[in-house]
Amino acid sequence: MTGVTVVGGGLAGMTAAWTIRGLGLPVRLLEAGPELGGMAGSRVIDGRVEDHGVHIFPAWYRNTLRLVAELGIAGNLRETKNFHQLLPGEFPAFRTAVTPAADRLLFYYGVIDLLSQEYGARDESLHDFLRSRRYLTEAAIADIEHLFVASSAAESDAVSAAGFRGSIAAFARHPGRVRMPRGDLQQWFIGPFRQRLEADGVEVRTGRELIEVSVHGDRLQALTVRDDDGTAVTEDVTGHVVLAVPHGRLSALGGDLTGALRPPYGVDELTSRPLGALHLYLRRRLPGLPDEHIRLVGSPHAITLIDVGRAWGRHRTSVLNCVVGRVARLVELSEAEAVKLLVDELMTFLPELTWDDIEHVCYQPHFTAPFFAPGPGSGRYRPQSTTALANLHIAGDFCAAPPGVAGMESAVRSGLTAAESVRRALRPELPPVRIDRIGDISPSAARGLRMALAPFAAAVRSLAGRTRRRR
């Protein structure tokens, strides 16, 4: 085979194929599943198109939003105004903040404190950072931890403090409305993306699973790919290859390949965790719900949801798309037991919801398709797109990225860095691939602000303690 073969049709692989084709190179894209998109895609389950979960596009997703604009589908996203928070017993009253004012002020001071840290190669867990800050109240810590679990599936002791700092800095440096798709990502993002790929000459083949590679010297020598019918075919590699597969799959391809990654620590140290999805199709429009994201504060399984029946405008009834941050707690339960537990939990927040309202349930725990969750110190294990093999490049959300960059932005960014690696090898005369930087906050500036506000924070902490003792 000649040209460039991209293995893995998730968002990283699609971005790599799109960008490499833009360099004037022939590209073939192989995907093991029946559709492209990976975790950003959708599947047909029981005759319905079901997203992997609920997706958002923050303003700091600079490379992702630029890609959307290049594809001509920016109109397929809409801006959201609020992120609603619901406490048990308060429906239909939603809040924008849930902790008392003193705790919120201490939380903001904690954010400044975190931004003042210079981690570099050093790192710690978010849990360790929060617990070492004696000015933080238990209420402030609990709110931070629950909010993070709801979005990342990782508990605070498994979360990188440096990564959390990076995401806060990104939101601060690139403020703006969060966008969400006007419907399922297959129709509004991945489907149009595939159409543009094929229209531009990318050869897309689904149902092609990579099962083995062979390395000879400093080159990737051959790929063995299994078709849908079970037939395995081995091809010599005469061009370049971009592997855009999950890090666990990369590890399974053997030490000859993983030993060529840079840095050469191996991807076995990286971790992923399942982020569950529960979609409830109702027989009626549930009253009192907004058409934007809702966080169920104090939810034991860290549930957030959106009524896409309202948000997408294509349903006369409510369709509750729920993200289950702590789905790993349900691994020992049957599907029926897990669904009952989660629906009962929803009913404690949404008293209008009854079992008779539910017409159809789609539960996706994603135990076999986990979400990459950067842990403390994981930055030194995330591989570069360029490898020690002259014709091999790597893409995926687990690849090296600035702290805090994860999810779709990390996947897109890795596709761009893989394309740049290919450009340097095959089209060095062309200008570099554009990769937009994510802004940061100066630690020294944050330290100055932290020191200036220290007396104020001490007074607020004292006030919060006195208020609790009176209660």
Mean residue pLDDT across the chain: 92
- Write out the residue range of the structural domain in which residue 164 sits: 82-176+441-470
pLDDT tens readout for residues 177-216: 999 999 999 999 999 999 999 999 999 999 999 999 999 9
Q: Is residue 449 part of a domain?
A: yes
User: Residue 207 has which token pair?
Assistant: 């149902």
CATH number of the domain where residue 400 is located: 3.50.50.60
pLDDT tens readout for residues 229-275: 899 999 999 999 999 999 999 999 999 999 999 987 678 889 888 98
User: Residue 80 has which token pair?
Assistant: 């959201």
Which residue(s) pair with 305 in the sheet? 294, 322
Q: What is the pLDDT of residue 61?
A: 96
- Cβ-Cβ contacts under 8 Å for 448 (sequence gap 6 or more): none
Q: Is residue 211 part of a domain?
A: yes
Q: Is residue 122 part of a domain?
A: yes
Task: Return d(Cα 310, Cα 290) in angstroms, integer.
Answer: 8
pLDDT tens readout for residues 433-463: 999 999 999 999 999 999 999 999 999 888 7
Is the domain of 262 the same as that of 320? no
For the chain, give the longest Cα–Cα distance.
75
| Confidence bin at 468 (pLDDT 50/70/90) | low
pLDDT tens readout for residues 18-68: 999 999 999 999 999 999 999 888 888 898 888 887 788 999 999 999 999
Which residue(s) pair with 277 in the sheet? 323, 364
User: Residue 316 has which token pair?
Assistant: 């006369």
Is the domain of 341 the same as that of 322? yes
Say if residue 386's pLDDT is above 90. yes
Is the domain of 267 the same as that of 294? no
> Looking at the 3D structure of the chain, how many domains does it have?
3
Is the domain of 393 the same as that of 328? no
Q: Is the pTM of this model over 0.85?
A: yes
Is the domain of 246 the same as that of 165? no
Q: Are 305 and 320 in contact (CB under 8 A)?
A: yes
pLDDT tens readout for residues 305-329: 999 999 998 789 999 999 998 999 9
Task: Return d(Cα 112, Cα 88) in angstroms, integer.
Answer: 30
Say if residue 469's pLDDT is above 80. no
Is the domain of 95 the same as that of 239? no
Is the domain of 210 the same as that of 156? no
The identity of residue 89, as a single letter, is: G
Q: Is residue 101 part of a domain?
A: yes
User: How big is the CA angle at 18 (ends 14 and 20), to the nearest 5 degrees?
Assistant: 115
Tell me how far CA of residue 228 lies from CA of 104, 232, 233, 243, 364, in angstroms. 54, 9, 12, 20, 23
User: How big is the CA angle at 296 (ends 291 and 299), to the nearest 5 degrees?
Assistant: 155
